[in-house]
Structure 1
Amino acid sequence: MLRVIRIILFLTITHQTFAQTSSPEQFLGYPLGAKFTFHSQIIDYFRLVQSQNPGQMKLVQYGSTNEGRPLMLAFISSAENISKLETIRTNHLKSIGMLEGKPDASVPPIVWLSYNVHGNESVSANVSMQVIFELLNKQNALTQDFLKNMVILIDPCINPDGYERYTQWYNRVQNAIPDATPFGLEHDEPWPGGRFNHYLFDLNRDWAWQTQKETRERIVVYNQWMPHFHADFHEMGPSRSYYFPPAAKPYHKDITAWQRQFNNLIGEYCRKYFDKNNWAYFTRYNYDLFYPSYGDTWPTMNGAIGVTYEQGGGGRAGLGIERKDENDTLTLKNRIDHHYATSLATLEAVLSQKEKVVSEFIKFHADAATAPAGVFKSYIVKTKGSEERVRYFAEWLGRQGITFGVAGKSISTRGTDLVNVSEEALKIESNDLLISAYQPKSNLLRVLFEPRPVLEDSVTYDVTSWGLGYIFGLKAYGVKEKLVPAAYQPVKVENTPSAAPVYAYLARWSEVEDARFLAELLRNRLLVKTSNVPFETDKITFDAGTLVITKKGNERPDFDKVVTAIANKHHVKLTPVATGFVTSGADFGDDHVASMTAPKVVAVSGNGISPTSFGAVWHYFEQQIQYPLTIVDGSRLASLPWNEIDVLILPDGRYSDLLGDKQLDALQSWIRNGGRLIAMERATDAFIGKGAFALSRKTSDKKKDENPLRKYADQEREEAGETSPGSMFMVNMDATHPLAFGCSKEYVTLVRDAYERDYLKDGWNVGYLAENNYRAGFVGAKMAGKLKNTLIFGVQELGRGKVIYMMDDPVFRSMLYNGQVLFSNAVFR
């Protein structure tokens, strides 16, 4: 109520006196930087500023978070530009070929400033208030020049849920006089921290994959505006100074000479502010421009100048923290000043090259549409047998703003397999997806499809391979010919209740949507069976894993109607059969056709658990397959009611303090009685050599090429030799095991670590790396040997239950389509 009164008071004063824009301090009642401002107050301030400057600012809500907080975007420019904002937008899109027609006027540079993608890097949202105030400060000649010559978009907080998680916590625990002691409570943020969104995803890694609600809603607006420049504001550890461009190597090879040149120019304008104030900074280190799913690289692949700014601070810094190495105390006010300076430097740099910023952007997209770079002029995705997966992929392409169609006719040609990177004869069918490289987003298309990105430097920040054939498990080809696509129409699945007597409905198992279908059937208390062997009926063959929904056990008058309605909802094609007899394989009453019950699933969270690993599991259940998940804190493992649990998931984490001998004994007893344990990545450490668990560490050759005279300056590069920041490996899969059902024959995974697990001597080695399973991405020389002859997915039968060991996270960032199918098997089979 007080907040509403405050807004009304400001509106009244403004209306009566035509006052200048209210400063953040006037609105908040305290100086900016004196405390962390709640998200709702920041949005209220933006609304107030709009009401005071209706001619120069437009504020829109473009979406909302999982917790219901608004996602806002402010448009700031001159009154003339704001009055014709839609005309500027459409002329801009016409100029780059993303709208039909010719522009009837030139457009100013469009600059998008994104604050607080990581919630506990909380200086950003606070500085957004200072930026918007100065932009609309009529007394500031520089910012008025910005508005006259640019359209500026400001997102004050990309991640409101994470920001509010941090801010609420900090404002509760901070001392009346902020305590700068580094080990004080207000510098010790509790699990899971505010960095991530509601589902504990890192939104700065989600620009390309768009698995999260916030990202999808933001990208819709991004594609409507296609800014010439995008700046992403971050924080790093409090002991560090400030990073601004030029970026570190590696640069992706497809970043243009102009984009590289402007990256250097940004640094020049930032240095001007920092040198003047004797502020510490660094450039060309740590923050590269390679992986195309960041807030700087994804915009760059879309033709923008994309940059990252990193301020020392982050969640540990609070309102102030002692830095003995720097002989100072880093305050929130310092951090605001620095981000404010680079915000202005950004706009000054764009202003200095405003005509070229626009003309180079137009050229980028014109070249892409008329003379696309790269050897492939068309991309083919095979459809037959993967119709649902292709539909899912087509929706993803649409979110990217990439145009596509179908071949429309049969074509015989040659193409390069974009998984195995081998050229072969290719028969294109009329319904195969066809994506032409002759389009404005050709550069983004080429980068995302490339199976083996060229890495100019081994020291890199994140994933180094991401080819779409790998990510979506598709048969994808690059073709050197220019092929013209026909209109695409997704295949619509329309099952109808059978008029003839039905013994059972059959549903193939290979897609994520199949898991959603199964989950809803189980939620509706329908009995579902699965054939654990391939079979043939009515001259139709079905793979192992096929769902069998029999009338027996589902005696309800609406059986046919309910099953077909759920199948249609999830795009699942049903095959009705009139008999339980099959011509080959196991009849539907055979022991190989097993019942699938609705499991009670529990996942562990809390201290020691990787927030992102747990978050991916949480997101999988709630958003991917819509199946209930019970979450428990790891400290409760000793007191769980084991008889009520069917599946227990241990996400990646350190369990040494959570799984003592007593807990391991309880786990073993539960498993023997029919429980199913899924242990992921480092969680598997807790079971090596313990009790009846069969997991063991691989014995490796300890001889290393140690050089006692190695150079200190080479240490970072030597450390890189021990890493795989994210590289693609083909996993040898036992396709006959239920854990592998439905996964495509070529199961490719994203390897980020080597756990060196020996093959199970008492169990099933379902997925493993042999001698030559590497496909793409950087793997350090010392790491490479560890990724040979090692277990990736294993299943141990223990009594009536099972232990599923996962040395790779199949739901990592929700990126890998086949990984989600495999995880569904682990949960339900």
Structure 2
Amino acid sequence: MKRYLACFLLIPLVYSAEAQLRSPADFLGYELGERFTPHHRVTDYVRHVADNAANVDRIEYGHTYEGRLLQYLIISSPDNMAKLEEIRTANLQRAGLLEGVPAEDTPAIVWLSYNVHGNESVGTEAALAVIHTLVSSTDNDVQTWLEKTIVIIDPCINPDGRDRYVHFYHQTRGHTPNVHGEAREHSEPWPGGRSNHYYFDLNRDWAWGTQIETRQRLPHYNRWMPHIHVDFHEQSVNSPYFFAPAAVPYHAYITSWQRELQNLIGANHARYFDEEGWLFFTRQIFDLFYPGYGDTWPTFNGAIGMTYEQAGSGRAGLGIITAEGDTLTLSDRIEHHYTTSLSTIEVAANQRARITTEFAEYFQNAASRPSGAHAAYVVRHTGQEDKVRVLADHLDLLGIAYGFATTASSGAGFAYHSGSTERVSIESGDLVVPAAQPKGVLTGVLFEPEAELEDSLSYDITAWALPYVYGLEAYATEDEVTWTPTAPVSEPEALPSRPVAYLAEWKSFEDARFLAALMRKGVKVRYAELPFKVNNKSYDEGTLIMTRGGEGAAFDSLVIQAARYTNQHVEAVNTTRVTEGADFGSGDVVFMRAPRIAIVAGPAVSSYSLGELWHFFDEQLEYSTTLVNSDDFGSLPLFRYDVIILPSGSYGDVLSEGRLEEIQNWLREGGRLISLGNATRFLAGKDGFGLQIKPDEDDEDADSLGVRLRPYADRNRHEITEDVTGAIFRTELDNTHPLAFGYEQDYFTLKSSSRAYAWLEDGWNVGVLKEGSRVAGFAGMEALDALNNSLVLGMESVGRGEVIYFVDNPIYRGFYYSGRLLLANAVFLAGQRSVATY
């Protein structure tokens, strides 16, 4: 035991004779814990290790948005390294993801992921210590661990965020670190280093892959399918260390073995922590339910996924005085993560045979029987081809098998749009996701209409079924559906040369991407406010119309290039006269000016909300915007912009009465103001804005004595009766309004707040909740009552301009695809009739 502790306490071990391999201190010029290591030096050291150690492979798997390298190391015994591909292949065969009979007695695979949150910066420092121990120690136990395990170490998942924090700290500290919490080095400026370049929380993105770091990492994870995955974090400076087992709720699909091994690993950690007198806690706060985390996503992929939380985070710096009067140092934090890292590897080595056996059984069970109540998930292909294609790309990223129905059939199934079991007609070519497949557990987690929630005190959202996320007509069937992996192919119609006009439907966000591409190329675009018919074909409201008149010789090539770039279908017509509806020269066919858009950024707004908008326009839509710091918004020349977007935030210091009057004047002249989340809350009740918070219908005097005298121990459970923890609600849409073009009469909004707004008295209530509108996820009873008959999406006119209110976030965490078109409608379609010409 003392020998282990010597290792854990970073006491030098006896090292091998590989004279070229240097310790982190020797290579970097300082002891780990004396300063933070910037990413380029982390990369230098990892390369040095790979170049000079015999038992290491280094894999580069991509770059961040800011160009920083993403990489991981594979470390094991020399014998294992010599047959690494055989071991990897055998593991995938054991999971049923590759054909063939796996080799026996293969090592357990442990994947350690550090620093997904950039300002939880100890992770990378600890990773360097762990790497050096594993590649250089001649300790017999360490060598035995490596004989029985393959250890994969990603030293920094989020280099952009981490360097943001590290550079801040280096620039604000003095010669001697200041341990007082009020010192500026303990207070990061907005947006902080937690998030990546686009201010996304990468630890919520594992299931969605919206960010480039995640999209590049997941294929490598799927190449290995580790048996254990640890996600290293930090929390507040006054919190003891957290490790497994996790808190409830556990998702119902988590197996008894996954629970058991968490307990075994936690017990091993506790042994070392108790020997050192380090405090820790387990089974609280950090649950295993939402699938986007670095513990749950691996868990639903057959691993034992765990979160470890060390005290510190962005406030700790190199040292900080805690509430108990102790000084928490970076060296302390390294030591704790170092200890749990090696302790995890130790348990994996000791439990190798059981781990690999249970892993194989996990996937055998998943492939032989559905995890949930349904045998297949079927998505209608006809009429929603764009969304099906995007869903298929998502399934490819996750490694979920799918195909297409070979014949038409029918049977009983759950209809996501109605929320009831009914007779389902399946068409040939519909997308089919079988529930029984190697990744069947993950499939069930993501497709089952509603997950069983054993405890409503959850850490995150509680509803995410993919048919709601993508806004798809879909069914969960009770019987299996015959399918083929070959997608249906339709031959594109040949376009006539030099048609009078091109038409494109408006049914999905992909159509908005096509519109943005046309606007970037300077093509003039109109949209139809009414349905119409031409050449014996019907077109819905919102259809994009590009006419030849007024365009140059490159008109055809520009339209076709934009269509090919966005993978969209266009149709050609040789007349602007329609047989039903409004001719293309009618006032009901609206010319679309490319909007000039400003978005408020900076300390007044939520960095997450801003990041979602920034990423939406920059990466998903590819449309130029101007981000304006909130401190500078007061002097922004409003009339340079057609659209101003207010992300969720606190606007008391940004939108004074005088500035609101200026905005009202800008609106009267044709401006368009779009508010989201708490920005909508700020505008409610303000002069000139018609939005009002929905009055509480309950009589305060009617509160029961039972509520007034509720036990202190029940305070959290009472509070959640008034809360909504990321639940999905059916929203009734007025799809004749441009804000809802491209939608059916229902939209499934993801609601993460119980704040309710009254329907507009003088405006358009485009999206509303009626009674009984919850579809999936947890919402407290009092919250449900408050949300009955409330607003989700509204628009009111102010002179020639409009204010558009989003109560909920239509692009939540970048993954809520079905809301993207609503935001595109708000930006491109709504208000175009009266757009200003500044």
TM range (shorter): over 0.9
Structure 2, gaps ≥5 residues long:
1-15, 830-838
How much has 1:490 moved relative to structure 2?
A: 6.1
CA distance in 2, matches of 1:138, 1:505: 69
Corresponding position: 1:632 with 2:628: yes
Aligned amino acid, residue 368 of structure 2: T
Task: Show the counterpart of 1:234.
Answer: 233
Task: Show the counterpart of 2:569.
Answer: 573
CA distance in 2, matches of 1:685, 1:337: 45
Correspondent of 1:540 among 537, 540, 543 = 537
Aligned amino acid, residue 241 of structure 1: P
How much has 1:188 moved relative to structure 2?
A: 0.8
Task: Show the counterpart of 2:48.
Answer: 48
Count of residue pairs brought into register by the alignment? 810
Q: Deviations over 1:379-431 (max 9, x none)?
A: 21110100111111111111110111111111122221134331211211111
Residues 645/445 of structure 1: CA separation in 2 closer, same or farther (3 Å cut): same
Identity %: 46
How much has 1:690 moved relative to structure 2?
A: 2.3
Instruction: After TM superposition, list the pairs within 5 Å mapping 1:342-353 onto structure 2.
Output: 342-353=340-351
Describe the SS at the equivalent of 2:281: coil
Task: Show the counterpart of 1:595.
Answer: 591
Asked if 2 retains the 8 angstrom alpha-carbon contact of 1:297 and 1:306, the reply is yes
CA distance in 1, matches of 2:510, 2:708: 55
Describe the SS at the equivalent of 1:721: helix
Residues 595/636 of structure 1: CA separation in 2 closer, same or farther (3 Å cut): same
How much has 1:563 moved relative to structure 2?
A: 1.0
Task: Show the counterpart of 1:477.
Answer: 475
Tell me which moved more, 545-554 or 648-657.
Answer: 545-554
Task: Show the counterpart of 2:604.
Answer: 608
Correspondent of 1:672 among 651, 668, 681 = 668
CA distance in 2, matches of 1:702, 1:181: 47
Task: Show the counterpart of 1:25.
Answer: 25
CA distance in 2, matches of 1:539, 1:546: 16
Asked if 1 retains the 8 angstrom alpha-carbon contact of 2:735 and 2:744, the reply is no
Asked if 2 retains the 8 angstrom alpha-carbon contact of 1:21 and 1:136, the reply is no
Residues 709/155 of structure 1: CA separation in 2 closer, same or farther (3 Å cut): same
Aligned amino acid, residue 72 of structure 1: Q
Asked if 2 retains the 8 angstrom alpha-carbon contact of 1:124 and 1:336, the reply is yes
Residues 282/349 of structure 1: CA separation in 2 closer, same or farther (3 Å cut): same
Task: Show the counterpart of 2:764.
Answer: 764
Q: Deviations over 1:172-198 (max 9, x none)?
A: 001221111111101110000000010
Aligned amino acid, residue 526 of structure 1: V
Corresponding position: 1:564 with 2:550: no
How much has 1:684 moved relative to structure 2?
A: 1.7
Describe the SS at the equivalent of 2:321: strand
Task: Show the counterpart of 1:188.
Answer: 187
Tell me which moved more, 189-198 or 140-149.
Answer: 140-149
Aligned amino acid, residue 452 of structure 1: E
How much has 1:516 moved relative to structure 2?
A: 0.9
Task: Show the counterpart of 1:461.
Answer: 459
How much has 1:698 moved relative to structure 2?
A: 1.4
CA distance in 2, matches of 1:490, 1:813: 32
How much has 1:702 moved relative to structure 2?
A: 4.4
CA distance in 2, matches of 1:57, 1:67: 27
Task: Show the counterpart of 1:444.
Answer: 442
How much has 1:17 moved relative to structure 2?
A: 7.7
Aligned amino acid, residue 310 of structure 1: E
Task: Show the counterpart of 2:833.
Answer: none
How much has 1:719 moved relative to structure 2?
A: 2.1
Q: Deviations over 1:236-278 (max 9, x none)?
A: 1112111111110000001001001111111101101110110
Describe the SS at the equivalent of 1:541: strand
Task: Show the counterpart of 1:289.
Answer: 288
How much has 1:498 moved relative to structure 2?
A: 1.5
CA distance in 1, matches of 2:747, 2:740: 9
Describe the SS at the equivalent of 2:283: coil
Aligned amino acid, residue 512 of structure 1: F
How much has 1:782 moved relative to structure 2?
A: 2.5
Task: Show the counterpart of 2:726.
Answer: 726
Aligned amino acid, residue 242 of structure 2: Y
CA distance in 2, matches of 1:789, 1:91: 56
Task: Show the counterpart of 1:682.
Answer: 678
Asked if 1 retains the 8 angstrom alpha-carbon contact of 2:733 and 2:744, the reply is no
Asked if 1 retains the 8 angstrom alpha-carbon contact of 2:95 and 2:364, the reply is yes
Aligned amino acid, residue 357 of structure 1: I
Residues 811/373 of structure 1: CA separation in 2 closer, same or farther (3 Å cut): closer
Task: Show the counterpart of 1:171.
Answer: 170
Q: Give the RMSD, CA atoms, in angstroms.
A: 1.5
Task: Show the counterpart of 2:384.
Answer: 386
How much has 1:491 moved relative to structure 2?
A: 4.7
TM-score (norm 2): 0.95
Asked if 1 retains the 8 angstrom alpha-carbon contact of 2:674 and 2:826, the reply is yes
Residues 629/458 of structure 1: CA separation in 2 closer, same or farther (3 Å cut): same
Corresponding position: 1:335 with 2:333: yes
CA distance in 2, matches of 1:450, 1:352: 36
CA distance in 2, matches of 1:744, 1:332: 55
How much has 1:489 moved relative to structure 2?
A: 2.4
CA distance in 2, matches of 1:686, 1:423: 41
Q: Deviations over 1:562-604 (max 9, x none)?
A: 2123213222222212222222221111111101111111111
Instruction: After TM superposition, list the pairs within 5 Å mapping 1:205-244 onto structure 2.
Output: 205-244=204-243
Q: Deviations over 1:190-231 (max 9, x none)?
A: 000000010111111111111110001100100111001100
How much has 1:134 moved relative to structure 2?
A: 1.0
CA distance in 2, matches of 1:343, 1:337: 10
TM-score (norm 1): 0.96
Corresponding position: 1:521 with 2:518: yes
Asked if 2 retains the 8 angstrom alpha-carbon contact of 1:516 and 1:626, the reply is yes
Please list every run of at least 4 consecutive aligned residues from structure 1 whose deviation after the TM superposition is greater than 6 angstroms.
none
CA distance in 2, matches of 1:781, 1:454: 18
Asked if 2 retains the 8 angstrom alpha-carbon contact of 1:493 and 1:568, the reply is no
Corresponding position: 1:755 with 2:752: no
Corresponding position: 1:553 with 2:550: yes
Task: Show the counterpart of 1:162.
Answer: 161
Asked if 2 retains the 8 angstrom alpha-carbon contact of 1:473 and 1:746, the reply is no
Aligned amino acid, residue 180 of structure 1: V
Tell me which moved more, 605-614 or 41-50.
Answer: 41-50
Aligned amino acid, residue 639 of structure 1: S
Task: Show the counterpart of 1:129.
Answer: 128
Tell me which moved more, 281-290 or 775-784.
Answer: 775-784
Asked if 2 retains the 8 angstrom alpha-carbon contact of 1:91 and 1:106, the reply is no
Q: Deviations over 1:426-456 (max 9, x none)?
A: 2111110112223110111011101111111
CA distance in 2, matches of 1:330, 1:17: 36
CA distance in 2, matches of 1:143, 1:703: 67
Tell me which moved more, 371-380 or 118-127.
Answer: 371-380
CA distance in 2, matches of 1:482, 1:757: 44
Residues 601/445 of structure 1: CA separation in 2 closer, same or farther (3 Å cut): same
Aligned amino acid, residue 95 of structure 2: I
Task: Show the counterpart of 1:321.
Answer: 320
Aligned amino acid, residue 645 of structure 1: Y
How much has 1:20 moved relative to structure 2?
A: 6.9
Q: Deviations over 1:620-655 (max 9, x none)?
A: 011111111111101112111222111111100000
How much has 1:45 moved relative to structure 2?
A: 1.1
Tell me which moved more, 692-701 or 490-499.
Answer: 490-499
CA distance in 2, matches of 1:300, 1:595: 51
Tell me which moved more, 83-92 or 371-380.
Answer: 371-380
Q: Deviations over 1:667-724 (max 9, x none)?
A: 1111111111111111123322323211112111243535332211111222222221
Task: Show the counterpart of 1:299.
Answer: 298
Corresponding position: 1:489 with 2:487: yes
Asked if 2 retains the 8 angstrom alpha-carbon contact of 1:729 and 1:776, the reply is yes
How much has 1:349 moved relative to structure 2?
A: 1.5
Q: Deviations over 1:132-189 (max 9, x none)?
A: 1111233332222211111000000000000000101111001221111111101110
Asked if 1 retains the 8 angstrom alpha-carbon contact of 2:411 and 2:478, the reply is no
How much has 1:469 moved relative to structure 2?
A: 1.1
CA distance in 2, matches of 1:140, 1:553: 79
Tell me which moved more, 377-386 or 483-492.
Answer: 483-492
CA distance in 2, matches of 1:671, 1:482: 55
Structure 1, gaps ≥5 residues long:
1-15
CA distance in 1, matches of 2:272, 2:17: 36
CA distance in 1, matches of 2:242, 2:369: 36
Task: Show the counterpart of 2:499.
Answer: 502
